[in-house]
Amino acid sequence: MAKNLTSHRPLLAIGLKTTAIFLFTAMAALVKYLSEDIPAGEAVFFRSFFAIPVIVVWLISRGELRNGLIAKKPMNHFWRGVLGTSAMGLTFTGLGLLPLPEVTAIGFATPIFTLVLAAIFLGERIRMIRIGAVLVGLLGVVIMLWPRLGGDAKAEDLALVGALCVLAATFARAFVQIHIRQMVQTEHTAAIVFYFSATASVLSLLTLPFGWVMPTTEQMALLVLAGLVGGCAQILVTSSYRFGPASMLAPYDYTSMLFAVLIGYFWFSELPTGMMIAGATLVIAANALVVWREHKLGLERGKARSVTDPKS
């Protein structure tokens, strides 16, 4: 079990996390590039199925393949797969209808929704600072969506559909976070990682009757690449937490905005709007406030343990 946390190596942890974020953004760009011809459900299949070999090799190298194949509560993995696959499909749909930076910015609302859902379903207490953070974050989401709410032209209607899909995906990912908090009480991390990709691969096949296409050789190569890149990113972000605490690494999630803006500009000739930047800034500020508060509470709990627990 000590193998799960090897040491505190902050620079390595930051490097792994930042590289993972870049790879996730690059994977999203590949899906966006293919979205005009490849349906979202088909993209979900390739993203999930071709991540499995990467994950299996990783588990073998860590000696955790056996743990990765043990599902103590299979239905928990199934529902995690349903939620995660839904989030992925909605995000991929949004990528075909919105600029990459906008999809990335709306996705930053996931931690805000997770706070709300944790209070509702897990009974976690939300004090005034976090309530304020939730309100600021929701205001940021409204600002980002506002330009999409008044469009009459067809293109603007489709953009609204895309924005709502990405917003729904953030809700689904928030539910995933809540569900995983419960799963880790009984399930090994390796099993959660492996069975998500396996379940998503199967569930995505349900979209086969709804317009899958035969990819060209180039499209096939890019779809497979998206799966491999996604698998590598998943492994890197998991590995980063072996060398640094989540509170330290959380701010580096926002490097995805920088990567999205750069890739969006140079690949798709996209530029973020002022409203999008303003809304994203509020959401990021709200998340930063939550991270700061959690870090402070963690320090306070540590001090309390040092007084009450002689072993610490």
Q: Could you state, in chain order, the average pLDDT of each consecutive group of 10 residues for the chain (312 residues)?
A: 57 92 97 96 97 94 87 94 96 96 94 88 81 91 86 68 95 92 87 93 96 96 97 90 79 91 95 91 90 64 35 40
**Is 295 part of any domain?**
no
- DSSP alpha helix (H) spans, 205-251: 217-240, 246-249
Q: Write the burial class of residue 310 (CB in 10 Å: 0-12 exposed, 13-18 middle, 19+ buried).
A: exposed
**Is 190 part of any domain?**
yes
The token pair at 216 is 């060209």
Give the per-residue pLDDT at 227: 96
Q: How far apart are CA 160 and CA 146, in angstroms?
A: 10
The 8-class DSSP code of residue 152 comes to -
Give the per-residue pLDDT at 157: 81
Three-state DSSP state, 195? helix
Give the per-residue pLDDT at 2: 39
Q: How far apart are CA 212 and CA 228, in angstroms?
A: 21
pTM, to two decimals: 0.89
Domain extent, residue 240, equals 7-111+151-268
**Is 54 part of any domain?**
yes
Give the per-residue pLDDT at 4: 45
Give the per-residue pLDDT at 105: 94
Q: How far apart are CA 295 and CA 130, in angstroms?
A: 13
Give the per-residue pLDDT at 224: 98
Q: How far apart are CA 25 and CA 116, in angstroms?
A: 26
**Is 21 part of any domain?**
yes
Three-state DSSP state, 36? coil
Give the per-residue pLDDT at 302: 39
**Is 73 part of any domain?**
yes
**Is 118 part of any domain?**
no
CA torsion angle 127 130 132 137 (round to 10): -150
Give the per-residue pLDDT at 6: 53
**Is 278 part of any domain?**
no
**Is 145 part of any domain?**
no
Number of structural domains the chain divides into = 1
Q: How far apart are CA 61 and CA 238, in angstroms?
A: 14
Three-state DSSP state, 62? coil
How many angstroms separate the Cα of 270 from the Cα of each of 25, 105, 168, 208, 274?
15, 14, 23, 31, 13
